Every structure is written in structure tokens, then in C-alpha cells.
């Protein structure tokens, strides 16, 4: 099979079965041709092991710095027919859980 020749497509060109088959032949040619390996590298011995890594130090998140936080406890959804007082209680519970988890700053 001859080497594949690239086609320079232009807007308005018609794609034919012959052209698609030629492209597929080029793909097959590229995937099945014999590859010439590069030069063999010099064998070497493994070097000495590096020092152990340091353990991560987790810092507390603040309003000014990124830090580690834990997941807040699960909270129930507000009732569908909840009045303002019930919604306030649910919201305050959510805020308290976020503060406890360190996600929202304390008052």
C-alpha cells in the first residue's frame, strides 16, 4: 500500500465513499505499519530511597484562610406547610450546624 497522502478539504467539497475509504485505509496503514524502535537506553541501578513525606497538617478554616472543615450533621427539611416561626427554627438549626462544623464563623 502506498503512503497516505493528506487531502486539503475546502468548504463545499463533497465527501464520497472513495474518499472515506481512502481515509480508513490511511488509518489502518498507520495502525499496522512496523515501527522502528529507538536506541536502547543505558541500564542503571535504582537510587536510594527518598525521605519520608511529612504528614499533612490540617488547620482550622477562618473567614480569611482556607482550612479543613468537617461535614455538618444531617438536618430535617422544613415542613411543606411550615409557618414563619417553624422556618426560622429550621434555618437557625442549619446555621448552628454549619457553625459547629466550622463552615460558617461563629456569631
Inter-residue contact 4 to 25 (CB < 8 Å): yes
Inter-residue contact 101 to 70 (CB < 8 Å): yes
Say whether pLDDT at 68 is over 90: no
Q: What is the mean pLDDT of the chain?
A: 83
What whole-number distance in Å separates Cα of residue 68 and Cα of residue 60? 6
Query: Which of 37-41, 64-68, 88-92 is the least confident region?
Result: 37-41
Inter-residue contact 32 to 1 (CB < 8 Å): no
Cell numbers at 11, concatenated: 468548504
pLDDT band at 48 (very low <50, low <70, confident <90, very high): confident
Question: What is this structure's pTM?
Answer: 0.40
pLDDT band at 14 (very low <50, low <70, confident <90, very high): very high
Report pLDDT for 11. Answer: 93
Amino acid at each position: 500500500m502506498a503512503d497516505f497522502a493528506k487531502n486539503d478539504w475546502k468548504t463545499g467539497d463533497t465527501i464520497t465513499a472513495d474518499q472515506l475509504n481512502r481515509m480508513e485505509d490511511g488509518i489502518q496503514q498507520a495502525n499496522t505499519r512496523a515501527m522502528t524502535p529507538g536506541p536502547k537506553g543505558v541500564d542503571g541501578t535504582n537510587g536510594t530511597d527518598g525521605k519520608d513525606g511529612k504528614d499533612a497538617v490540617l488547620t482550622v478554616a477562618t473567614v480569611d484562610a482556607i482550612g479543613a472543615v468537617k461535614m455538618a450533621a444531617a438536618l430535617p427539611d422544613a415542613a411543606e406547610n411550615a409557618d414563619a416561626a417553624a422556618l426560622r427554627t429550621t434555618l437557625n438549626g442549619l446555621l448552628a450546624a454549619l457553625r459547629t462544623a466550622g463552615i460558617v464563623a461563629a456569631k
